[in-house]
Amino acid sequence: MKKFKLGLCQLLVSENKKENIKNAEKMINSAADMGAELVVLPEMFNCPYNNSYFPKYAESYPDGETIKMLSKISKERGIYLIGGSIPEKDDKGNIYNTSFVFDKKGNIIGKHRKIHLFDIDVEGKISFKESDVLSRGDSLTIVDTEYCKIGVAICYDIRFPELFRLMVLKGVKVIIVPAAFNMTTGPAHWELLFRARALDNQVYMASAAPARDENASYISYGNSIITNPWGSIVGKLDEKEGILIKEIDLNRIDEIREQLPILKHLRKDLYQISLQK
């Protein structure tokens, strides 16, 4: 199958975990009703994006209430589901920023733990240090679907192009990056990064983000986005809660790679690209 419908759900996140889970379920159902075959949720969709909330909201696989909902609804609706991200706690007490991926039968087929932690300090604008609370992941995340291989990363991961090139060299054609850029980095870099990663690697890139809440401690930029292998924006939301549905045409990837064979022109005699995990 060379085409499928991708749905991005941009949710307004509150301090009420149960309400956030309920809202996510409602939005997933709406996206499925609109024909989405692969649905994506935002980064940290079940809790506010703030270090103080991560330990309190953290869940363990497979018993967490958010995880159970994601598995249940993906099976009920017969969709692939990339569950944005949530705080995940392992059996050693470490907490990760984790995206759980489910197939159409509700089985987990992938789990991405954010590799690059968001530790930044833009003077006078924003300061955040995920590493104060979160541990970092240590592996690529690629899942096989009936459509194509799909790569998964989370937010700050997108600023590291090596990660995305490795995914593409392993056969990935669509990369999903649940994210929560802010009002400093969003206007400056959001579109640029998604267009650049799509253009460099000749793949589709997509991200679902939380809707903007001006009263939150961390204000999300929103603007959930899909970019194509030519580097163009296929669709984008604004700052408000909403759903974006677009058809992903995998034939377009093959066409562009034939016309502009960047990946064939890699000079591996001058630079090495590891294909290790």
Residue 41 CB contacts under 8 Å (≥ 6 apart), including other chains: 9, 11, 24, 27, 28, 81, 82, 83, 84, 178, 208
Confidence of residue 274 (pLDDT cuts 50, 70, 90): low
DSSP category for residue 1 = -
Structural domains in the chain?
3-265 (3.60.110.10)
Question: Residues for the chain: how many in total?
Answer: 277
pLDDT digits (tens, 9 = 90+) for 48-102: 999 999 999 999 999 999 999 999 999 999 999 999 999 999 999 999 999 999 9
**Residue spans of alpha helices (H) in 15-119:** 17-33, 54-57, 65-77
Q: What is the pTM assigned to this prediction?
A: 0.96
Residue 125 has a pLDDT of: 85
Residue 233, pLDDT above cutoff 70: yes
- Model confidence pLDDT, tens digit, residues 117-154: 988 889 888 888 999 999 999 999 999 999 999 999 99
Residue 223's pLDDT is what? Answer: 98
Q: What is the pLDDT of residue 275?
A: 56
**What does the pLDDT read at residue 182?**
95
Is 211 in contact with 240 (CB distance < 8 Å)? yes
The pLDDT of residue 8 is above 90: yes
How much is the pLDDT for 257?
A: 97
pLDDT, tens only, 184-200: 999 999 999 999 999 99
pLDDT of 276 reads 54
pLDDT at residue number 212: 98
d(CA 269, CA 151): 27
Give the Cβ contact number of residue 161 at 10 Å.
13
Whether residue 269 has pLDDT greater than 90: no
Q: Which residues are catalytic?
A: 43, 114, 155
The pLDDT of residue 272 is 75
pLDDT at 243: 98
Binned at pLDDT 50, 70 and 90, residue 273 comes out as: low
CA distance 190 to 151: 19
> What are the DSSP calls for 241-276, one per residue?
SEEEEEEEEHHHHHHHHHHS-TGGG--TTTS-----
Using a 10 angstrom Cβ sphere, with 0-12 exposed, 13-18 middle and 19 or more buried, the burial of residue 205 is buried
Average pLDDT score, the chain: 96
